[in-house]
Amino acid sequence: MARLYVIQRGRTAWDDQGRMENLAGVSLSPQGAQEIHRLCTELAGRDVKVIYTSPVEAEQQSAKMLGEALRLRIRHDADLAGVDYGLWQGLTGQDIRRGDARLYRHWLSRPAQVRPPGGETLGQTQQRLCGAVGGICRRHRRQGVLLVLGPVAVALLRAAMEHVELDRLWELVQPAASWSSYDTDGQFS
């Protein structure tokens, strides 16, 4: 059984502007860097062997800061990236609402049923994330693993682990960097 420490990366300027995350990503904001410094202190002394993160810029920056503070190596896995929002990437809710108000309202109220134009559904993202985490858990049995993910990816993983339906996903998204831990106990086998 692996012990997962699921870390939400620090804030970015796009978070502050309410923009849909871009898979290429943007840098941490100064506030985001401060959030990660705080988490470094909170996570010090935990029995963690490795950090995994996606290729998204803010997640990589957060992982690098944590890796240096905790003296851990970092591994990258593209399947840990957040939602592919397709044509919505980089847009604000207001931008999307102007383009298709009905679809955007549906996204807010029943997100599991919506596929952003050219993107992927939340279910597809969750399946990809859980598959990646399953592989990580199999490689690191009985070890502590730190995962650094974006806010929606953290919420999707949390929904899977806590058996929360995806239409309640927005209740799980946190506004700032945070962490939680889970004993996987075969959840991703």
Percent of the chain with pLDDT over 70: 98
**Residues spanned by the domain of 8:** 3-84+120-183
Burial (CB < 10 A; 0-12, 13-18, 19+), residue 50, is: middle
Is 172 among the domain residues? yes
- Residue 68: pLDDT band (50, 70, 90) is very high
Q: From CA 178, how far away is CA 77, in angstroms rounded? A: 21
What are the structure tokens assigned to 102, written together? 């009905």
Please compute the mean of the pLDDT values over residues 113-121 and round it to a whole number: 95
Q: Model pTM?
A: 0.94
Is 91 among the domain residues? no
Please compute the mean of the pLDDT values over residues 15-30 and round it to a whole number: 88
Percent of the chain with pLDDT over 90: 89
- Residue 23: pLDDT band (50, 70, 90) is confident
Is 52 among the domain residues? yes
Is 108 among the domain residues? no
Beta-carbon count within 10 A of 16 CB: 11
Is 93 among the domain residues? no
What are the structure tokens assigned to 167, written together? 């239409």
